[in-house]
Structure 1
Amino acid sequence: MKKDNRISAIDLFCGAGGLTHGLIKSGINVTAGFDIQSSCRFAYEKNNNGAKFFTQDVKNIKAKDLLHLYPENDIKLLAGCAPCQPFSKYSQGRDAKSDMRWPLLYEFSRLIDDVMPELVTMENVPDVAKHKVYHDFVSHLESAGFEVWADKVYCPDYGMPQRRTRHVLIASRIGHIELVAPSRKTSGYKTVRETIEKLPPLKAGEKNILDPLHAAAGLSDINITRIKKSKPGGSWLDWPPELRADCHRKESGKTYLGVYARMEWDEPSPTITTQCYGFGNGRFGHPEQNRAISLREAALLQTFPKGYKFLSPGEDVSFTKLGTMIGNAVPVKLGKVIGKSFIKHLK
């Protein structure tokens, strides 16, 4: 007998723990996370109630590696949010065979077969649904007796201050399941202002003494001049012609208006990416200060709690490493929505 309908989860491709933290906040017990990036260990274990981090390639994981991590008689949830880059629209046309991440959903299917969890979840970019590997995955779940709910989710509808759209799948061998209803309407979307306005001001290249993650990347002299000429919600078209980059002068570059731009205070942010700390990488300019958003601001827009620790004591700030951890994460609040959906399903 399952005791008290308690769900225990294992998070494959766990990264820094965005999904895990959200599941824990919803009331689900998460015992472990697996990821190939050992750099995520500190953040994962420091913030997630004793969940253990295992540096292991999913292709090498066996059922016995997972089964002993589930408490006896708990309902088993297996989460597997595989890296999204192969399925992104920016990767279309790339040779699938040259990217070893494409078969990871098949490895997830293998582990589902071997572990036989009652519940399963995965999330990815919306374009994952255009690929055969995804449809094979869904068909495999259905043939194994799972009821499946899967659809695009617009994060602002669920209280996230970020215009991020993700494809979410939840599945159950217990019965019919669906994602909980959205909690917000357009007029009530959470904004950049609500999320980051109260953080201490920074200059480009500066780090806050009390919170090393509140660090802003440096800017060249010309980019300082450019950001001073940038308007919230505007683009490089707001600059005088002499400040425009050579690529913007070409016909092919005139449509790329979402780079070298500031966020707007009273709107959700753009999608936070792994390079969100760079002014030239998207609409990542601070709405008011002359810099790109800090790593802490990016983490808050990804709905990590303000106290979520990514840096071990004495560790230097690496924008590349931390940007990857933050940008690749499942937003914590989306993880909580998924967890609440499973809990409601069991009730």
Structure 2
Amino acid sequence: MKKICAIDLFCGAGGLTHGLIKSGVDVVAGFDIEASCKHAYEHNNKGAVFYNEDVQNLKGYDLGKLYPSGCIRLLAGCAPCQPFSTYSQGRDVKNDKKWPLLYAFSSLIDEMLPELVTMENVPDVTRHEVYHDFVSSLEEKGYKVWAKKIYCPDYGMPQGRSRHVLIASKIGEIKFIKPTRLPRNYKTVRDTIGRLPKLEAGQKDEKDSLHVAAGLSLLNMKRIRTSRPGGTWHDWPEDLKAECHRKSSGRGYVSVYARMSWDEPSPTITTQSYGYGNGRFGHPQQHRAISLREAAMLQTFPKSYQFVKPSEKVYFSSIGKMIGNAVPVALGKAIGKSLLKSISSS
């Protein structure tokens, strides 16, 4: 069977690339506009070269030259999800600079006609015309398309995240592999981060600079001490509740200032999951928000995954962005396995 060789557009720190490599796919290159992702991408994904370029400026002819001869070409493009997210619905997304990125991806497919294509995004992407134009363009060019919402815990991710995944093939019929886990054996927060060294708020593990927890104000320390795993701020005494939560408009927002549960998958890991007040990101037991390392591991990055050089300072915002924007590694691996299985049966 021929080898699958991939180019990863919008590659970020390499979540999808790492998963594809673990599945047996060769990844030759990744493209992203965030130069800060270069070290993480190349250090952890040997053989894959990072290109700090805007996908909208790329040409299919130039990309085609990066593939080794004789391989089955995969073009992966997990465009930034912000324009399609429910969090964006209050914005004028038609004018969002990220809105045309899926069209740019589609244009590159038109120019290159790779044998395989994959795209991953938030489930709400299917509500937008650009997505349906993308699918129609693939079908018009003879691709067989499989596209559905994937619940990540079904594929070994300790995170209650749902993503829309599309895989397409010019070689033959294609479909996603069956779930690898049932609800009774979903991977949990405890399974994933339960053995990491204990931390106080504002403390860093001396052996791992990424295992670092943000500090807490005196008020938030009182709040988290009152919080129970899986609970909400409704459990707090009145004097600890935020002013916005006292209003009727704020009473439904219960998944902030909350702890995760040990024996369930975590909530969706976002770019600000290191902040206690940004979601259900309180550690199940320790009085702090989860560390950057814990967030990365819940995104199924290996514990050893390096996001910055050892000599570089760790900044919560920049590394939190790399982690939260990444395709979970385990999802990337499931995508790779699905592609490999499909071509082997064609």
Q: Same fold (TM over 0.5)?
A: yes
Stretches of structure 2 that go unaligned for 5 or more consecutive residues are none
Give the alignment's Cα RMSD to 1 decimal. Answer: 0.7
Task: Name the aligned partner's letter for residue 28 of structure 1.
Answer: V
Q: Is the 8 A contact 1:279 1:285 kept in 2?
A: yes
Question: Is residue 180 from structure 1 mapped to residue 205 from structure 2 by the alignment?
Answer: no
SS in 2 for 1:213: strand
Who is 1:190 aligned against? 187
**Cα distance, 1:115 vs structure 2:** 1.2
Q: Is the 8 A contact 1:5 1:346 kept in 2?
A: no
Distance 2:225 2:90 in 1: 38
Equivalent residues in 2 for 1:4-15, closer than 5 Å: 4-15=1-12
SS in 1 for 2:277: helix
Distance 1:86 1:227 in 2: 33
Task: Name the aligned partner's letter for residue 38 of structure 2.
Answer: R
SS in 1 for 2:304: coil
Who is 1:74 aligned against? 71
Distance 2:31 2:62 in 1: 11
Extract structure 1 runs of 4+ deviating beyond 6 A.
none
TM-score by length of 1: 0.98
Distance 1:163 1:96 in 2: 26
Distance 1:240 1:331 in 2: 37
1:257 equivalent among 254, 258, 263: 254
Residues 175-209 of structure 1 show CA distances to partners (whole Å, capped at 9, x for unaligned) of 11000000111111100000001000001111111
Distance 1:264 1:326 in 2: 21
SS in 2 for 1:151: strand
Q: Is the 8 A contact 1:232 1:261 kept in 2?
A: yes
**Cα distance, 1:100 vs structure 2:** 1.0
2:60 equivalent among 36, 60, 63: 63
Distance 1:301 1:59 in 2: 31
**Cα distance, 1:88 vs structure 2:** 0.3
SS in 2 for 1:268: coil
Q: Is the 8 A contact 1:180 1:341 kept in 2?
A: yes
**Cα distance, 1:334 vs structure 2:** 0.1
Who is 1:143 aligned against? 140
Who is 1:22 aligned against? 19
SS in 2 for 1:214: strand
Equivalent residues in 2 for 1:165-244, closer than 5 Å: 165-244=162-241
Equivalent residues in 2 for 1:297-308, closer than 5 Å: 297-308=294-305
Distance 1:142 1:133 in 2: 14
Distance 1:217 1:68 in 2: 45
Question: Is residue 127 from structure 1 mapped to residue 128 from structure 2 by the alignment?
Answer: no
Stretches of structure 1 that go unaligned for 5 or more consecutive residues are none
Distance 2:92 2:237 in 1: 41
1:278 equivalent among 262, 272, 275: 275
Number of aligned positions between the proteins: 344
